[in-house]
Amino acid sequence: MQRLNPDPQFVRELQGVGGDALTKCYQCATCSVACPISPSSQPYPRKEMIWAQWGLKDKLMTDIDVWLCHNCGTCSDLCPRGAKPGDLLAAIRNMTYRSIAGPAVMGKWMSSVKHLPVLAGIPAVIYLVIWIIMAAIRGTAFPLTEDGHVVYGLLFPGDYTIDPIFGLAALYVIYTFYVGVKNLLKRFEPEGEVIFVGGKKPSMLRALWDTIIGEIVTHKKFADCGEDKAPRKIGHLAIFYAFIALFIVTSIVAVGHWGPVFLGWVGVDVHQLHTPIPLTSPIKLLANLGAVLGIVGLVLLTAKRVAKDPKKSENSYYDWYLLGVIWAIFLTGIGSQLLRLANVKYLAYPTYYLHLVAVFMLLAYLPWTKLGHFVYRTAALAYARRIGRKVM
């Protein structure tokens, strides 16, 4: 017989991060019946609601079904008691972000708006110091080229400021995700009998590939999840492909700049790629396409979130933090380009400074934000596919 260890403190923690209505649940099972993607065997979120009420932290922290949920809100909309089961599952995922990878203080800082000044202050100070130092070297805080044009590299040289800082942050984030995914997969336990097609258990690598191609790239589950699914699916897809486009652009620029440097060390002379890139360049066209896709996605997702009925679903700080940072990235990024082209140096440089701060807040804190679920959910869905835990 399995021994249960109720944890009242865990219940209070859940209520503090978005699961405040869980005590209203009286186990009618409407949520599990209404969910369009819940497995027919041991469906969620009914069992998670009662586990949460009992404070069964160990069961919830090892429950893979928390990650199968795509948070469409159908269960919360139809709950006759207003228990918001969708918010509960989101709250459990949020608590997981904070616990599977260190340092622990990051989870604390990401849990409340009162810590936002600290999170924003770190990159703000870093790039303000760089601005002051470079201004002292250049003799002006708003430098122009010899022919009178704004070039951000004059004040924030990529070789010495942007690339090293973001490069180190990216390496740290990759390592943190590695540790987080490793800890997450250790927690999962297969539920019940597992039956595989042909009796062959797929490898984790194969399950991961099938998950990325079959679910992540297409966002297929979003099409099956909830009644008002089109804006949500299109919004997520637009931002998803916007970031892919910008990642490709950033990678090309990085390789084009640093590749010749490394080749030069071995005596190979190759032309470097320098910014700013002409507007007619395919690289710049892809970057601007990514910017447009990002704005479209943000408008759709923000409108949907604003329209949420607070009686049926919450707008948590986690959700608004991520939306706010992404809005800041795209608006300051577009603004930086337009102000540079207009050659308005007193607005261009401050806007670019804010852009660097926003990008740092997205990249460096990624494993502890809701966007971290892109990595963690992908790993969980692949694991679920591997053990045979299927959706309807």
| Co-location of 152 and 244 in the same domain | yes
The verdict on whether omega for the bond into residue 310 sits within 30 degrees of 0, i.e. cis, is: no
Percent of the residues in the chain that have a pLDDT greater than 70, as a whole number: 88
Give dist(CA 69, CA 391) in Å, integer: 10
| Total domains, the chain | 2
Q: At what angle are helices 345-363 and 116-138 packed, to 10 degrees?
A: 140
Same domain, 317 and 344: yes
Which structure tokens are listed for 86?
A: 């969708």
**pLDDT in the model for residue 196:** 46
Q: Using pLDDT thresholds of 50, 70 and 90, give the confidence band for residue 227.
A: low
Domain shared by 169 and 188, yes or no: yes
Q: pTM of the full predicted structure?
A: 0.85
Span 197-203, mean pLDDT?
64
More confident residue, 18 or 32: 32
Separation CA 98–CA 118 (nearest Å): 17
Task: Name the CA radius of gyration of the chain, rounded.
Answer: 23
Pick the more confident residue, 233 or 376.
376
Owner of token pair 């080749």: 263
> What's the mean pLDDT in 16-43?
81
pLDDT at 202: 77
Q: Which of 72, 99, 126 represents a domain boundary (last residue)?
A: 99
In this prediction, residues 156-176 reach a mean pLDDT of 89
Determine the average pLDDT of the residues in 62-77. 84
Above 60 in pLDDT, residue 221?
yes
**Among 191, 153, 159, CA closest to 66:** 191
Whether 180 contacts 346, CB under 8 Å: no
Residue 136 burial (C-beta neighbours within 10 Å; 0-12, 13-18, 19+): exposed
Q: How confident is the model at residue 261 (pLDDT cuts 50, 70, 90)?
A: confident
How far is the first Cα of the chain from the last one, in angstroms, to the nearest whole number? 30
Of 84, 99, 114, which residue sits at a domain end?
A: 99
Q: Do 301 and 238 form a contact (C-beta atoms < 8 A)?
A: no
Question: Shortest CA distance to 261 belongs to which of 271, 253, 252, 251?
Answer: 271
What pLDDT band is residue 34 in, cutting at 50, 70 and 90?
Answer: confident
pLDDT at 63: 87
**Which one of 48, 83, 99 terminates a domain?**
99
Answer yes or no: is 392 within a domain: no
Asked if residue 120 and residue 80 are part of one domain, the reply reads no
Give residue 327's pLDDT: 96
Find, among 322, 319, 243, 329, the residue nearest to 287 by Cα.
Answer: 243
Q: Phi and psi (nearest 5°) for 81? A: -110, -5
- Residues 274, 375, single domain; the answer is yes
**What pLDDT score does 213 carry?**
86
**Same domain (yes/no): 91, 126:** no
Q: Which residue in 44, 149, 144 sits closest to 89, CA to CA?
A: 44
Q: What is the pLDDT of residue 310?
A: 63
Let me know whether 111 and 94 are in one domain. no
Q: How much is the pLDDT for 84? A: 86
- Both 109 and 84 in a single domain? no
> What pLDDT score does 293 carry?
96
- Note whether residue 329 is domain-resident: yes
- Structure confidence at residue 197 (pLDDT): 47
Check whether residue 45 and residue 154 sit in a common domain. Answer: no
- The pLDDT score that the predictor gives to residue 109 is 83
Reported as a pLDDT band with limits 50, 70 and 90, residue 304 is: confident
Residue 193 has pLDDT above 50, yes or no: no
Same domain, 116 and 41: no
Q: Which percentage of the chain shows pLDDT scores above 90?
A: 34
The residue range of the domain holding 51 is: 8-99
Same-domain pairing of 156 and 113: yes
239 assigned to some structural domain? yes
Highest mean pLDDT among 112-121, 148-157, 229-238, 353-362: 353-362
3-state helix, strand, coil in the chain (%, to 5): 70, 0, 30
CB atoms inside a 10 Å sphere around CB 270: 12
- Cα-flanking dihedrals φ and ψ of residue 357, to 5°? -60, -45
Q: Is the pLDDT of residue 386 over 90?
A: no
Q: Between 254 and 129, whose confidence is greater?
A: 129
- Average the pLDDT over 63-79 and give the result: 85
Tokens of 278: 């002409």
User: How confident is the model over 283-311, as a mean pLDDT?
Assistant: 89
State the Cα–Cα distance between residues 25 and 313, nearest whole angstrom: 14
CATH number of the domain where residue 91 is located:
1.10.1060.10
* 114 & 40 share domain: no
Strands (E), the chain: none
Q: Which DSSP string do the residues of 168-215 spell out, in sequence order?
A: HHHHHHHHHHHHHHHHHHHH----S----GGG-PPPHHHHHHHHIIII
pLDDT band, very low/low/confident/very high, at 269 (cuts 50, 70, 90): low
CB 97 within 8 A of CB 369: yes
Across residues 167-181, what is the average pLDDT? 92
Two tokens, residue 360: 């740092």
Separation CA 142–CA 131 (nearest Å): 10
CA torsion, points 178, 181, 183, 188, in degrees to nearest 10?
-160
Q: DSSP string covering 216-243, please?
A: ITTTHHHHHS-SSHHHHHHHHHHHHHHH
User: Has residue 3 been placed in a domain?
Assistant: no
What mean pLDDT value characterizes the chain?
A: 84
Nearest to 376 by CA among 231, 89, 179, 168: 179
